[in-house]
Structure 1
C-alpha cells in the first residue's frame, strides 16, 4: 500500500502518543541542591535540552519566539513577525496577517542541524485566525532538497510529499479557526517514512498518518510558507493569495 495514503483516525481522543520523549530531564541535582534539567539557551536565542543516558543520548532544542529580535530566524517577508496577540507557550508567537500574496515567510537553519541531521522527532503548534489560503512548515535537507510539508489548507490539515499535486494527502477537514493545532512528526529514516500526528487541542481530536519522505536524506533547514493548493507549482513552489496564520514552539529532537 502506498504510504502516502495510509491514514488512521484518532477522533475522540485527547492526545496523540508518539514513540520517544521530547526533552528528557536529567534527574541528577547540581552541587547547590537544585535540579539540573539540562536546559541551556543557545546562541541563536532558542533553548536546548540534552540527556546523558548512554543508551539513549539525545538532544532537543526549541525554536520559540520569545526573543524580540527573532535571532533564530531569517525573516524573508517583513509582513511576518513576532506577535504577542497569540501564544501557545510564553508570551509570543510569530505569524502573518495579510490578504495579499505571500510565499516564503521565514527560514531557520539551527546550528544543531548544521550539515544535516536525521532527526528523531519534530513538534510544533500553529493557529489560523480566519479564512485565508493556509500555510505551513517545510523541511529541507542538506542537499537543499525538499523532504516534507505539513500545515493547513485552511482549515484542512495538509501533508505534501510529492510534486504532482498538493492536496494528495489531506488527513482531516480540520475543526475551524482560533485554535492551536499540534503537529508531531516521528521519523523512520531506515524506512524513509514519517508519522504525522495532527491534534486539535480545543476539540481534543486528531488524525495520524504515515507518509514517505521525498528524499529520505536528513533535515537541515526549516521554512515557513503561505500555501494555496490551487496555486501549487513544481518544484515545490509554495505560495498563497492570503495568509492569517501563527506558529509557536517548534521543538526538534535529534
Structure 2
C-alpha cells in the first residue's frame, strides 16, 4: 500500500500501540522520516512510502491506524493526520443491534421531534391569545414541556458535542462550521426559552414575550430539521 504525506519535518508512523496495528506484519515497521532510505519521494517535506502489509490470520474485523505527524510530539499543537483503515479478514458475523439500543442511538431525534410538535401547538395557542388579547397560560404548558425535553436532550448529546467542539473528534472544516452554527443557534434558542419560561411563571404579559417565544420556536425548529438533513456527529 502506498502512503503519501507532506509537511515540514513530517514522518509516517504506524505505531504498534494504535488499535489493532500489532495484529499486522508491516514492513517497513519503523518510523519513516523525510529523505530516509524508505522514502521514495526525493522532494523535501514530502514522503512517499510503500508499506507491505500481511493481514492477521484470525477471522475478525481490524482497524489499522497510520499517522502522518511532526517528527516530535512535543506540545499540544503538534500537527497530526490520521488514516484509519477497516479490514475484514474471513467471514465475520456481525451481531444484530438490539432494537432498544437502536432506539437510543437516535433518541435525540425523537425528543427533538416531540419538542417541535409541542412548540407548534404552544405557538398556535400563543398566537390565538395574542390576537384576542387574552392572558391565558395554556400555551405555557406546551412551552415549558418543550423546554424541559430540550434540556434533557442537551445533556444526552453533551459528550459528543464537547468532543467535536474541542477537537477530540476531527471534522472537515465545513462540517465543523455547521456544528458550531448548530450549537450557537441552539444556545440562542435555549436562552430565549429561559426568558419565556421565566415570563410564564412571572405572569409577564404575553405581548412582551413574543420575541422570546418566536426566537425559541425558530431556532429549535431549524436545528431539528438541519440535524436531520445535514447529519453531524453529536448533533
Whether the TM-score (by the shorter chain) exceeds 0.5 is no
Query: Whose Rg is larger?
Result: 2
What is the TM-score of this pair, normalised by structure 1? 0.23
Q: Which has the higher contact order (CA 8 A, sep 6+)?
A: 1
Structure showing the higher strand proportion among its residues: 1
What is the TM-score of this pair, normalised by structure 2? 0.24
